[in-house]
Structure 1
Amino acid sequence: MRVVPQLVTIALIAVVAVPVSARLVPGTRPWLDSAGLLHPLVVAGIVPDHGAEDGKHQGNAGRGPPVIADEVQIHPLRDVISAIGSARGIQAVELSFGVTGRLKALRVAPGDRVAVGDVIAELDAETAQLSVERARLVLEDRQKTFDRLGQLAQSGTATALQRQDAELALRTAALELQAAERDLADHRLVAPISGYVGLVEPQVGDLVSSSTTITRIEDRSSLLVDFRVPERIAALVRVGDAVQATAISTPGEVIEGRIVALDNRVDEASRSLKVRAMIGNADDRLRAGMAFRIDLAFTGDSYPAVDPLAIQWGADGAFVWAVRDGKARQVPIRILQRNAADVLIEAAFQPGDLVVTEGVQTLRPGAEVSVAPPRT
């Protein structure tokens, strides 16, 4: 007596499972067709008629196993190169005095913004000032001697040789005054560029020389980032190409920039080319020395793009199933690039080919297939 309920249960499961499998598993449709069940289920509306759902696939409909296929799409090859580089200001200079002396005054503090010509620091210049005054007095005396000999030469009491010696002495005194004034000017340290002052290590009263760095001024209104790209794309990089920079400290913020310079040779050790990019820093939030990830995108030739599900693997490598003249064809491929939504490949497709994405497990080379439209 227990057999009858079990048979009823099995029958109910079959009534539910057969239509569901016919809808979701394309491989069951040929089995139902051979058993004579597919047509009644289609007529009753329980199972959809894939052969009449989409006009563009009707020409490929047959009595073979049903598959889902779509037209071949053509997309450009996009290559993105990422590299890490360190930033520096668009201009930077380390300042030191040209002479040795004792530091008398510091006119700036770390972090101050200065303009060209602003005084940064001063040395004790008393001796240099005395040298200028002495040279000025000597020049005035030599000028008077030269003028006097000029008057005497007109009366014939001074020789041309005396006047020539006086002229030489006058010019020498002028040069000595210029040297003294230059030495005095070297006791004042002025900013050669506009920018921000860095740390100042020496203190007032210290004895400094030309080898003593007083501070560093850096113009960070824009930043330069040096990075390297592989040799294989060295010929593709051009001055003016756009880049995207992301500071390692702020990974969510992307800054637009451009390439401003290229090295003139590929490094033989690393097989890479040094590239320099410029990024904006108008709000002064970035600092020199920060690490940046640089993304450089290239758009190459166009290639067929297929769904990742379409790619199969065999003994001879990767391939896809194509529907050509209503029959399945095995097309060898070479994978060029994997993206989030598709895969770019090299393949010998013909016009009108459809690429199979579902139902590949039932296909055989040269066999007729019934094409259903892709699911939406």
Structure 2
Amino acid sequence: MKSLLIALLFVLSLPGGYSQAQQFGPREALVIVQPVSFERERNRVEAVGTAEAVRSITIYPAVGDRVVAVNFKPGDKVEKDQLLVELDARRQQVAVEQAQINLRDAERTVERLRASREQGAVPQSELDNAILLRDLARVELDNAKIELEDRFIRAPFEGIIGITDVEVGDRIDQQTAIATLDDRSTLLIDFRIPEAAVSLLQDGAELQVQPWRYSGTPVTAEIIELDSRINATTRMYRARAKISNDNDDFLPGTSFRTAIELAGEEFASVPEAALSWGVNNPFVWVVEDGKAARIEVQIEQRLAGRVLVSGNIQRDDLLIVEGVQSLREGQPVVFDRATLDTQEVTE
């Protein structure tokens, strides 16, 4: 050992010995850096939703009778009050005519008695009785018209009519389904999410929907209705959204893949390659006064190719993204400043 120390002192005493000893000191590390970028965490939950028309009904007749005309074809777009089916209305038309005759007769009686009453020829009670009979005749006419109108089945709103099994000559009753009618200019999408995700359904939440059979760009839907409680059995919460369907791209009953996203807190966005792992916590390297500085972080969210972390990271820090494998605390670093000009900072 004594001989080894003497030899080392001898080497250091030689010219250039000092520069050779410097080789054992800290070496500068060549690294690639970029400014620290920040972005908001994305809270996301996916569910399956089912679409239904904003207005959807099954049309039933108000009365039963024989079908004399079917005035639509399945798949037709019908207007409000358009005549769809006609039932045999001969007896009702006769009843209307009879009620009209009775009303006209009652009105003439009232006019005659009113003139006689002005001359004092009839008592007031007789005129009052005639007025009552006239009013009853008017009610009978209104009732006859309603009975007649019930034989003409009309569309209650604009929409697309469905398939019917009703044919001319069929005798139907009030339990006979004529056809479905859907106003699908707007679709409602019912979906359910887990109890733990209810907080995502707040103001500012964005719902993206995409039908399972359709691989195009997801459609943004508006959340319009929230249930009043969580289902105690399934622990699921029901909500409803709507989407415009002016081009008739989707049909009621379509199943949708729904995804709710909500921007949360803002955190530093770190490329996965820049994240290192210590004994207790992950950490990143930044440049401080030309030297590598280690900062411990907490992972908040993993995204595609990057990680959102919290820690003592400032917006003007330079993050070391490559060359972190052999860095040591306080080690001098050099980097190509041209890389800084190509980085984008997410505000």
Residue 160 to residue 351, structure 1, CA distance change in 2 (3 Å): closer
The CA deviation at 1:117 is 1.8
Cα distance per residue 1:279-337 (max 9 Å; x no partner): 3341x342221112234443344321111012223342332233434554442222222
> What residue number does 2:47 align with?
83
Which of 256, 259, 275 aligns to 2:240? It is 275
Change (3 A) 1:249 1:320: same
Who is 2:137 aligned against? 173
Q: 1:360 to 1:78 in 2, by over 3 A?
A: same
Cα 1:119/1:260, change in 2 over 3 Å = farther
Shift of 1:202: 2.6
**1:315-354 matches, cutoff 5 A:** 315-350=279-314, 353-354=317-318
Report the secondary structure of 2:55's partner residue. Answer: strand
Q: Tell me which of 254, 259, 263 is aligned to 2:217.
A: 254
Q: C-alpha separation between the residues in 2 aligned to 1:266 and 1:80?
A: 21
How many corresponding residue pairs? 315
AA of the residue aligned to 2:201: A
> Partners in 1 of 2:231 and 2:96 — Cα distance?
56
Compute the RMSD of aligned alpha carbons.
Answer: 3.1
> Counterparts of 1:153 and 1:277 in 2: how far apart (Å)?
66
Alpha-carbon displacement from aligned partner over 1:256-300 (angstroms, at most 9, x marks no partner): 444151225352443535031213341x34222111223444334
- Taking the aligned partners of 1:374 and 1:80, their CA distance within structure 2 comes to 37
Instruction: Give the letter aligned to residue 265 of structure 1.
Output: S
How far apart, CA to CA, are the structure 1 residues paired with 2:125 and 2:45?
77
8 Å contact kept, 1:321–1:331:
yes
Deviation at 1:362, TM superposition (A): 3.0
- When residues 255 and 74 of structure 1 are mapped into structure 2, their CA distance, relative to the original with a 3 A threshold, is closer
For structure 1, list consecutive stretches of 5 or more residues without a partner in the other structure. 1-34, 40-61
CA distance in 2: counterparts of 1:257 and 1:189, whole angstroms: 38
Q: Give the 5 Å matches for 1:227-376.
A: 227-229=191-193, 230-237=197-204, 243-251=207-215, 253-254=216-217, 256-259=219-222, 261-263=224-226, 265-269=228-232, 270-282=235-247, 284-350=248-314, 353-364=317-328, 366-373=329-336
CA contact (8 A) 1:310 1:356 kept: yes
Following superposition, the deviation at residue 255 of structure 1 comes to 5.1
1:115 & 1:344 partners in 2: Cα distance?
Answer: 54
| Offset, 1:137 | 2.2
Return the alpha-carbon distance in structure 2 between the equivalents of residues 369 and 352 of structure 1. 19
Q: Give 1:47's aligned residue.
A: none
Match of 1:63 in 2: 26
In the TM superposition, residue 351 of structure 1 has moved relative to its aligned partner by 6.3
Structure 2 CA distance for aligned equivalents of residues 331 and 142 of structure 1:
100
- SS of the residue corresponding to residue 127 of structure 2 reads helix
AA matched with 1:233: L
Identity of aligned residues (%): 28
Cα distance in 2 for partners of 1:155, 1:358 equals 115
What is the alpha-carbon distance in structure 2 between the residues aligned to residue 145 and residue 223 of structure 1?
A: 58
Where 1:274 maps in the other structure, the secondary structure is strand
Secondary structure of the structure 2 residue equivalent to 1:205: coil
Kindly provide the amino acid, as one letter, of the partner of residue 209 in structure 1.
D
Deviations 1:177-208 (A, max 9, x none): 10110111011001121121101123333332
Q: Residues 264 and 134 (structure 1 numbering): CA distance in 2 closer, same or farther, change over 3 Å?
A: same
Decide whether the 8 Å contact of 2:200 with 2:260 is kept in 1. Answer: no
Distance in structure 2 (CA, Å) of the matches to 1:351 and 1:107: 70
Alpha-carbon distance in structure 1 between the residues aligned to 2:136 and 2:284 = 91
Q: For residue 362 of structure 1, give the secondary structure of its aligned residue in structure 2.
A: coil
Is contact 1:245–1:254 with CA below 8 Å preserved after alignment?
no
How far apart are 1:73 and its partner, in Å?
A: 1.8
Instruction: Tell me, in whole angstroms, the C-alpha distance in 1 between the residues paired with 2:236 and 2:295.
Output: 36
Change (3 A) 1:255 1:292: same
Give 2:83's aligned residue.
119
Tell me: CA distance 1:264–1:138, structure 2 relative to 1, closer, same or farther (3 Å).
same
Q: Distance in 1 between matches of 2:175 and 2:191?
A: 31
Alignment partner, residue 120 of structure 2 = 156
Q: Tell me, in whole angstroms, the C-alpha distance in 2 between the residues paired with 1:286 and 1:177.
A: 46
TM-score, length basis structure 1: 0.73
**Alignment-mate amino acid for residue 109 of structure 1:** K
